[in-house]
Amino acid sequence: MDSSVSLSTVLHTTKEYVAILKSMGMETVEDLLSYLPRTYEDLSAMHTIASAPLETKVTLRGTVDRLKLVRTRKGKKLVTGIFVDAEGDTAEVIWFNQPHIMRMLTNGDGVVLTGKLVENGYKLQLQSPTFERAGDQPLVHAGRLVPIYQQHERITTKWLREKMVLVRPAIENLRETLPEDVLSEENLLPRRDAVRALHFPEDPAEVERAMERVAFEEMFHLQQRVLTEKQEWQGERQERLKTPMDAALIRTFFRSLNFTPTDSQRIAIFEILRDMESDRPMSRLLEGDVGSGKTLVATAVIANAIRSRGQCALMVPTEVLAKQHVLTIARQLIGLQRFAATADAETSFPLPRVELLTGSVPDVQARSIKQGLIDGTVDLVIGTHALITDDVGFKDLRLVIVDEQHRFGVEHRKRLKEKGNPHFLAMTATPIPRTLALTAYGHHDLSVLLEKPGNRKPISTKVVSPRDRGTVERFIDREIVQGRQVFVICPLIEESQNEEILGVKSVEREVERLQKAFLHRRIAALHGRMTPAEKDALMRQFRDGGSDILVSTSVIEVGIDVPNATIIVIEGAERFGLAQLHQFRGRVGRGDEQSHCFLFTTHPHQAQSPRLKAMEEHRSGFVLAEIDLKLRGPGDLYGFRQSGMPEGQLTRMLSPELVVRARRAAQRVLGMDQAPQSKIS
């Protein structure tokens, strides 16, 4: 059988089922064979009625007799009969609401039944067991390690098993999808052997080897894609991209600060500046925990690029964050320029022109900024993705930095290429386990910030039952009296009837409640339905002390800096992942005062959740991200397309050892240098 033939020509089924298979991504025999089991059930052991344990799923071989259709007083239909096993022992068999059984079985048929044997009064009974005829053909649904497939509302795992038997001959014609040398070096099963073992397994060890082959192949092809992207990005050499590392300037920059950078920051700056000395465009990801100082690293490398007369662009997701970066980075660059002008400085630094370019900038001002970018008088522009629209050009765009990499797509990279294919640095505040970083962001080299600068106090974190709300709110009121401010995060903007029944908090209802609970406090609300200008004005008001409590949905910006905010209350904490809770927690603890995070659960019993208790125990975003990965899988965290891949297979695919093996194999096939990866503890 040809594996490329259409399913509609080989399956004995209806057009409706063929259409459903197509909607599931299966049109050819090869597509069907690529639809792998999500797990297995061991039904290889055959029992007799005498040996079978009660109330446990077992498989029995024998015959059925005295089959009859019975109608109950309430109009329901039952099929009853007697099952006789190989030793002559009997049990009653009964199927509820399955009258079609009478068409499928006749008295005296040999069958294999799978179900629970129960005591019903004085007799043994099998209730609605699955069955198949016992004949010369190998068993499909019992008597072996039985594959369990992800089901559709119409297409069952039993149906899929039967269709796999029909297309089994095509396995021999499946094409190999891994290079022969990779198969040999990695000691992997050939594809046809792996597919056969997964659909028609003979023992668990064979399944294990087949799963390893499939997981390796998925990761190998993924690594090929991301490494090819990296090759394409770095394929074009440009002499103008060479940006010398000015060590004297960086030392001067460090001395201009009122604190000492961490070792992680120094290493990251060195790695980035070393990349920028090349005539190939850099492609690097800077990841760091909340408050680890990514902005300082960005400022240092921007200063080095400006010193070499190159232009820089910093893109961020929102206007609020763009305006904050303008203030922070411009202040540090001006501080560098002033310090460089003193007698103690090792080198000079020009006063840079820093501009903000977003959709709300007036047209006249925007035209002036764009002209400055074209003639080279603007050194650094900070804004949203509007920076790479067609009407924005540069004289010498040397470096682009993107904050929050996951919001930056392939199309944006194409537009950057059109503007000179500059050095590219992505930054993310979401700590990513190294395995995932090599996978999701494998087209980048990695720099990681593991420490936090300064002597910031750890944020006190407490999981709180709703029963203890009064105690917490009295504490919050005392903190407000001391001049502190409070964030409150709610899962919803407004309360629907269903959510009200479930007790889930909304911004609208919580604002009403807090206005009564805190009669003399100023309360503001922020949510995603507000315009950027409205959100900007409200955040500015809160930052300037215009309100005491800010109630928000998860729209609250990563990176927003309000040093006076020392308390964050997260309602319905069980609805968020650990990585997201850690991001929320990072909104406080940015000043010198002790900060607090209260994780309120919707129901009292949820306050004992081990997952939430991890927030009390761990301060490291990397540790919490690893826990989240184990508990929730990568899909929820990092947008992995699972496309039907069994969950266990996905977990296997992301094992550190397999990721490194697949990456090295992909590098060999692509003829790339295999630079050693930096170790992350």
Domain boundary assignment for the chain: 45-143, 239-449, 460-618
Cα end-to-end distance, the chain, whole Å: 51
Instruction: Find, among 327, 540, 408, the residue nearest to 387 by Cα.
Output: 408
User: Comparing 119-133, 411-425, 575-589, which segment has the lowest mean pLDDT?
Assistant: 411-425
Q: Answer yes or no: is pLDDT of 255 > 70.
A: yes
Sheet holding 311-315, edge to edge: 354-357, 380-383, 311-315, 397-403, 423-428, 283-288, 445-449
Q: For residues 167 and 161, give the distance between their C-alpha atoms in angstroms, rounded to a whole number.
A: 10
Question: For residue 1, what pLDDT is reported?
Answer: 79
What average pLDDT does this structure show over 332-349? Answer: 91
Q: Do 239-449 and 460-618 share a fold? A: yes
Q: Which residues of 58-82 are buried (b: 16+ CB within 10 A; e: fewer)?
A: bbbbbbbeebeeeeeeeeebbbebe
Tell me the pLDDT band of 592, cut-offs 50, 70 and 90.
confident
What average pLDDT does this structure show over 214-220? Answer: 91
Pairing of strands 123-127, 130-133: unpaired
> Cα 531 from chain centroid?
28
pLDDT top residue among 625 and 311: 311
Question: For residue 635, what pLDDT is reported?
Answer: 54
Which residue's structure tokens are 């996978």?
439
> Cα 264 from chain centroid?
25
Helix (H, G, I), strand (E, B) or coil at 265: helix
Tell me the pLDDT band of 561, cut-offs 50, 70 and 90.
confident
Helix (H, G, I), strand (E, B) or coil at 590: coil
Q: Answer yes or no: is pLDDT of 655 > 50.
A: yes
DSSP state of 444: S
- Residue 201 to residues 135, 171, 208, Cα–Cα distance (Å): 20, 14, 10
What average pLDDT does this structure show over 515-534? Answer: 86
Helix (H, G, I), strand (E, B) or coil at 100: coil
What pLDDT, in 10s, does the model give residues 220-253?
998 898 888 888 888 788 999 999 999 999 999 9
Instruction: Find, among 558, 25, 57, the residue nearest to 324 by Cα.
Output: 558
What average pLDDT does this structure show over 172-183? Answer: 94
Question: For residue 583, what pLDDT is reported?
Answer: 84
> Cα 504 from chain centroid?
24
Q: For residues 118 and 672, give the distance between their C-alpha atoms in angstroms, rounded to a whole number.
A: 63
Concatenating the DSSP letter of every residue in 186-216 gives: TT---HHHHHHHHHS-SSHHHHHHHHHHHHH
Sequence-separated (6 or more) residues with CB below 8 Å from residue 623:
none
Question: Could you tell me if 29 and 1 are in contact, meaning their C-beta atoms sit under 8 angstroms apart?
Answer: yes
What average pLDDT does this structure show over 164-193? Answer: 94
Angle (CA) 672 674 680, round 5°? 135
Q: Answer yes or no: is pLDDT of 501 > 70.
A: no
Question: For residue 637, what pLDDT is reported?
Answer: 45
Superfamily (CATH) of domain 460-618: P-loop containing nucleotide triphosphate hydrolases (3.40.50.300)
Q: Answer yes or no: is pLDDT of 299 > 90.
A: yes
Helices (H), 42-199: 101-104, 157-167, 180-185, 191-199
Question: For residue 170, what pLDDT is reported?
Answer: 94
What pLDDT, in 10s, does the model give residues 74-111?
888 899 999 999 899 999 999 998 888 999 899 999 99
Question: For residue 135, what pLDDT is reported?
Answer: 76
Which residue's structure tokens are 């099963």?
189
Q: Pull the structure tokens for residue 638.
A: 């990092």
Tell me the pLDDT band of 435, cut-offs 50, 70 and 90.
low
Instruction: Find, among 650, 167, 163, 121, the residue nearest to 436 by Cα.
Output: 650
Residue 484, Cβ density class (10 Å: 0-12 exposed, 13-18 middle, ≥19 buried): buried
Q: Answer yes or no: is pLDDT of 534 > 90.
A: no
Helix (H, G, I), strand (E, B) or coil at 472: helix
Helix (H) or strand (E) holding 322: helix 319-340
Question: For residue 468, what pLDDT is reported?
Answer: 94
Question: For residue 497, what pLDDT is reported?
Answer: 45
pLDDT top residue among 646 and 221: 221
What average pLDDT does this structure show over 367-371? Answer: 95
DSSP state of 3: T
Tell me the pLDDT band of 522, cut-offs 50, 70 and 90.
very high
Question: For residue 387, what pLDDT is reported?
Answer: 86
Q: Answer yes or no: is pLDDT of 648 > 70.
A: no
Which residue's structure tokens are 């990568």?
634
Question: For residue 206, what pLDDT is reported?
Answer: 93
According to the per-residue pLDDT averaged within each range, which of 463-477, 586-600, 639-653 is highest? Answer: 463-477
pLDDT top residue among 440 and 334: 334
Q: Answer yes or no: is pLDDT of 189 > 80.
A: yes
Q: Pull the structure tokens for residue 501.
A: 């029944």
C-alpha radius of gyration, the chain, whole number: 32
To the nearest 10°, the Cα dihedral for 56, 59, 62, 63? 80
Q: Answer yes or no: is pLDDT of 271 > 90.
A: yes
DSSP state of 26: -
Q: For residues 222 and 440, give the distance between their C-alpha atoms in angstroms, rounded to a whole number.
A: 9
Which residue's structure tokens are 């805190």?
518
Phi, psi (degrees; rounded to nearest 5) at 35? -85, 100
pLDDT top residue among 3 and 440: 3
* Residue 582 half-sphere exposure toward CB, CA atoms < 13 A: 29
Q: Answer yes or no: is pLDDT of 620 > 80.
A: yes
Helix (H, G, I), strand (E, B) or coil at 128: coil
Concatenating the DSSP letter of every residue in 339-394 gives: HHTSTT-SS------EEEE-TTS-HHHHHHHHHHHHHT---EEEESGGGGSTT---
Fold that domain 45-143 belongs to in CATH: OB fold (Dihydrolipoamide Acetyltransferase, E2P) (2.40.50)
User: Comparing 233-242, 291-300, 406-415, 484-493, which segment has the lowest mean pLDDT?
Assistant: 406-415
According to the per-residue pLDDT averaged within each range, which of 23-37, 419-433, 485-499 is highest? Answer: 23-37
Question: Could you tell me if 81 and 65 are in contact, meaning their C-beta atoms sit under 8 angstroms apart?
Answer: yes
Q: For residues 199 and 212, give the distance between their C-alpha atoms in angstroms, rounded to a whole number.
A: 15
Q: For residues 445 and 677, give the distance between their C-alpha atoms in angstroms, rounded to a whole number.
A: 9
Question: For residue 636, what pLDDT is reported?
Answer: 46
Could you count the other beta carbons within 10 Å of the beta carbon of residue 538? 20
Question: For residue 641, what pLDDT is reported?
Answer: 43
- Whether CATH 3.40.50.300 fits 239-449: yes
Question: Could you tell me if 81 and 127 are in contact, meaning their C-beta atoms sit under 8 angstroms apart?
Answer: no
Q: Give the chain's mean pLDDT.
A: 86
Helices (H), 91-203: 101-104, 157-167, 180-185, 191-199
Tell me the pLDDT band of 176, cut-offs 50, 70 and 90.
very high
Question: Could you tell me if 240 and 396 are in contact, meaning their C-beta atoms sit under 8 angstroms apart?
Answer: yes
